[in-house]
Amino acid sequence: MIRLNPEQLVFVTERHLATLTTLREDGSPHVVPVAFTWDPEHGVVRITTNRESVKARNAAPRPDGTPARGAICQVQGGRWITLEGTIEVNEDPAEIATAVERYARRYRPLPENSQRVVLRLTPDKVMASTYMAS
């Protein structure tokens, strides 16, 4: 499990947006701005989205069963961090409730949405600006 150093942990809890990169079926990148939360206890990034969004479709396992991969990159001035790893769609109501509650703490409360799912990115690689590096 990835653990962030203190500087990185502070950075991913400040109110910033990031970009999420996932891969389409043809292998081309799909990059979109997103709000996200970091869960240090489980070492995962959570992103809420609609069930039918492109990013949710891209997070489905590959036809051979290989997990999808994604990367989230947050930038502010000279500070940046990229978390790269496997990504999956999670429709569990408890996971959605956790993501919504964490989102409300970092950004703002979300309206009800019956189509909401959670993209759960489990990083296996962290890249960061020099002074934030582990």
Residue by residue, DSSP assigns 54-92 as HHHHHTSPPTTSPPEEEEEEEEETTEEEEEEEEEEEE--
Which of 90, 134, 83 minimizes the C-alpha distance to 116? 90
pLDDT at 75: 95
Backbone angles phi, psi at 104, to 5 degrees: -60, -35
Instruction: Report how far residue 52's alpha carbon sits from residue 134's, in angstroms, rounded to the nearest whole number.
Output: 37
Domain range enclosing 106: 6-132
Instruction: Report how far residue 72's alpha carbon sits from residue 11's, in angstroms, rounded to the nearest whole number.
Output: 13
Residue 14 counted as domain residue: yes
Residue 27 counted as domain residue: yes
The total of other beta-carbon atoms located within 10 Å of residue 3's CB is 10
Give 3-16 pLDDT, tens digit per residue: 899 999 999 999 99
Residue 1 counted as domain residue: no
Residue 40 counted as domain residue: yes
How far CA 21 is from CA of 7, 53, 73, in Å, comes to 23, 13, 8
Give 14-70 pLDDT, tens digit per residue: 999 999 999 998 999 999 999 999 999 999 999 999 999 999 999 999 989 999 999
Residue 62 counted as domain residue: yes
Residue 83 counted as domain residue: yes
Residue 16 counted as domain residue: yes
pLDDT at 131 exceeding the cut of 70? no
- How many domains are there within the chain? 1
pLDDT at 130: 74
Residue 36 counted as domain residue: yes
CATH number, domain with residue 60: 2.30.110.10
Which of 134, 7, 128 minimizes the C-alpha distance to 73? 128
Share of the chain above pLDDT 90, in %: 90
pLDDT at 134 exceeding the cut of 60? no
Backbone angles phi, psi at 87, to 5 degrees: -135, 140
87 versus 78: the higher-pLDDT residue is 87
Share of the chain above pLDDT 70, in %: 97
